[in-house]
Amino acid sequence: MAQNLIQLLSLTDNKMPKPLHDLVDKLLDNPDFYPEKSKDDRESTAWAIAYSDYNKNKKRKKKSFNLKEYRTAQKPDQ
């Protein structure tokens, strides 16, 4: 599975945002980052963490739900 993820990422490698690459490089340079895992597993874990962090930071804020406005909009015209 890790090998498939790495192959997929290598195909789209040039389209990834720079912050993703920077975070992956930073994680892989850290000797304490999953030293027990193989190189491929470490790389796929680093990409997963980078994607998660990037998506979390880029999420749009949801509009607050106003129940009063919703009920007013749902009332049929009289």
What local confidence, expressed as pLDDT, does residue 33 receive?
A: 92
Count of structural domains within the chain: 1
- On whether residue 11 sits in a domain, the answer given is yes
Q: Which domain range does residue 38 map to?
A: 2-58
Q: Does residue 7 sit within a domain?
A: yes
What pLDDT, on the 0 to 100 scale, is given for residue 74? 62
Answer whether residue 69 is part of any domain.
Answer: no
- Is 26 inside a domain boundary? yes
Query: For position 70, what pLDDT does the model report?
Result: 64
78 residues of the chain, pLDDT tens digit each: 666 666 665 555 557 788 888 999 999 999 999 999 999 999 999 999 998 888 887 765 555 666 666 666 666 655
Asked whether residue 51 is domain-assigned, the answer is yes
User: Quick one: pLDDT at residue 43?
Assistant: 93
The DSSP secondary structure of the chain, one letter per residue, reads -HHHHHHHHHHSGGGS-HHHHHHHHHHHH-TTSSTTS-HHHHHHHHHHHHHHHHHHHHPPPPPPP-HHHHHHHHSPP-
